[in-house]
Amino acid sequence: MKVLRTLRARLLTSHLIVAAAGVVTFVVIAAVAAPTFFHGHVVHGGGMMDGSTVEIERAFDSALRRAFVVAIGASAVAAVVVVSFVVRRILRPVDRIRFATRRLAGGDYRERVDPPTEAELAALAADVNALAASLEATERGRMQLMADVSHELRTPLTAIEGFMEGLIDGVVPAEAETYASVAEEAARLKRLAEDLSALSRSDEPEGLRQERVDLGSLAGKVAQRLRPQFDDKQVDLVVELPALLVVGDPDRLTQVIVNVLGNALGNTPAGGRVTVTGRADHGRVVVTITDTGIGIEARDLERIFERFYRATSTRSGGTGIGLTIARGIARSHHGDLTVQSDGLGRGATFTLALPAV
C-alpha cells in the first residue's frame, strides 16, 4: 500500500534541508577559510612561525570547532522553530479550505472560504466558493423542482380523487361527462410525465441526431399540422418561411416549434394573429414566432423559461415547462430561444436562432 506523505511533512522537510544545506556550506567554508585567513594575518602582520604561533593556531582551531558545534545546535533548534511556524502559517488556509470542502461534501452548500492573502491559495478558495455556489443553486433547483412537481401532480390527482369518491357515494352521476372529466385529468398527468421526461433530455447534446434539416420546411409543416387548432380558436396563423438549413435533430427541433406555437396559441385570444417568419442572419438562421396575445411584463421575460413558471393568471393551462424544454433543446443545438414583448396586451415575439450550415 502506498504511504501518503502530508504536505506539512514535505514543507517541513524541504525547509530543514535548505537550512541544513546553508549550515553545512557555512561550516565547510569557515573550516577551510578561517585557518588560512588567520595564518595569513599572523604572517603578514609580522609574526614569526615559531612554537607560540603554532599553539595559537591550534587553540584557534579548537575554539572554532567548539563554536561550530554550538552554532549548529542553536541553528538546528532555531530552524525547527521558525520552519514549524512558517509551515503552520502556510497551511492554515489549506486547512480552512479542507474544512470547507468537508462541509460541502456533508451537504452544507452555504459554506464559503475567506480568500487568503496568497494568490495561488486565493484562486483555489475562489474555485471552491464557485463550486459551493453551483452546488447550492443545483440543490435549490432540485428542491424547487420537487415542490413544483408535487404541486402540479396534486391538482389532477385531487380532481380524480373527488370524481371517484363522488361516484362511489352516488353524489356524482355516472355519466359520460364525468368519465370524460376523469380522462381529461388523467391525460394531464400523462402530459406532465411526458414533459418531465422531455425536460430531463432537453439540454443534453448526447443522443442528438445530427442531420441536415431545412428548419423553414420543418417549421412550416408543424404550423400546418397545428392549423386546425388555430382555426378552432379563430386565431389567424400566417407562415412565411424560406429554406433555412441547419444541422440538428429534426424530432427535437419539431418539439421546439410545437411548444412555442402552442404557447402562442394558448395566449392569443380569438381574432388574434400568430405569424411565423424566418431569415438567414450572419451565419445563423432565425425563426420568429410573433403573436398578438396577452403579452409579457418586462420582469417576466426571462422567468417564463423557468420550470412551472406562469407569468400571469391569464396564461393558458399546461404543464408550465414547454418553454423550458424548448430553450434547452435550442441550447443543446448551440443556439438559443429568446423572447421580446412590449408589455401586457402587446403580444410577444419568440426568436429561435441556430447555427446555419
Question: Where residue 318 sits, what CATH number does that domain have?
Answer: 3.30.565.10
DSSP 70: H
pTM, full prediction? 0.57
Shared domain check, 100 and 15? yes
| Residue 112 covered by a domain | no
At residue 234, the pLDDT reads 95
Shared domain check, 225 and 142? no
Burial class (CB in 10 A: 0-12, 13-18, 19+), 19: middle
**Domain C-terminal end among 144, 179, 202:** 202
Q: What confidence tens digit (pLDDT) does each residue in 8-41 have?
A: 666 767 767 777 777 777 777 666 666 666 666 6
* Range of weakest confidence among 37-41, 152-156, 189-193, 248-252: 37-41
Shared domain check, 253 and 198? no
The percentage of residues in the chain with a pLDDT greater than 70, rounded to a whole number, is: 81
**CA proximity to 353, closest of 281, 295, 301:** 281
Shared domain check, 43 and 83? yes
| Residue 29 covered by a domain | yes
Shared domain check, 135 and 29? no
Tell me which amino acid residue 165 is: E
Alpha-carbon distance of 55 to 67, in angstroms, equals 18
Shared domain check, 351 and 254? yes
* 141 against 264, higher pLDDT: 264
How big is the chain, counted in residues?
Answer: 357
| Residue 111 covered by a domain | no
Q: Are 22 and 14 in contact (CB under 8 A)?
A: no
| Residue 192 covered by a domain | yes
Shared domain check, 314 and 195? no
**Domain C-terminal end among 146, 175, 202:** 202
**CA proximity to 266, closest of 233, 222, 304, 297:** 233
Query: Which long-range contacts link 338-344 to residues 24+ away (Cβ below 8 Å)?
Result: 339/296, 339/301, 339/304, 339/305, 340/301, 341/295, 341/296, 341/297, 341/298, 341/301, 342/295, 343/295, 343/296, 343/297, 343/298, 344/294, 344/295, 344/296, 344/297, 344/312
**Domain total of the chain:** 3
> Stretch 191-207: mean pLDDT, rounded?
69
Residue 292: give the domain boundaries: 211-355
Q: Are 257 and 248 in contact (CB under 8 A)?
A: no
Q: What confidence tens digit (pLDDT) does each residue in 56-85 have?
A: 767 767 777 777 777 777 777 777 777 777
| Residue 172 covered by a domain | yes
Strand partners, 352: 287, 337
Shared domain check, 128 and 85? no
Q: What confidence tens digit (pLDDT) does each residue in 248-262 have?
A: 999 889 989 998 999
Q: Are 242 and 278 in contact (CB under 8 A)?
A: yes
| Residue 115 covered by a domain | no
The CA dihedral of 337, 342, 343, 344, to the nearest 10 degrees, is -90
| Residue 317 covered by a domain | yes
| Residue 274 covered by a domain | yes
At residue 239, the pLDDT reads 94
Shared domain check, 315 and 297? yes
At residue 33, the pLDDT reads 64
Burial class (CB in 10 A: 0-12, 13-18, 19+), 243: exposed
Strand partners, 83: none
3-state secondary structure at position 223: helix
Shared domain check, 233 and 284? yes
Shared domain check, 167 and 33? no
Q: What confidence tens digit (pLDDT) does each residue in 273-329 have?
A: 999 999 998 899 999 999 999 988 888 887 888 876 666 544 454 556 888 888 988
Shared domain check, 127 and 95? no
pLDDT, averaged across the chain = 81
**Domain C-terminal end among 202, 222, 256:** 202
Alpha-carbon distance of 343 to 54, in angstroms, equals 106
For the record, the C-alpha cell of 54 comes out as: 603554532
Question: Where residue 138 sits, what CATH number does that domain have?
Answer: 1.10.287.130
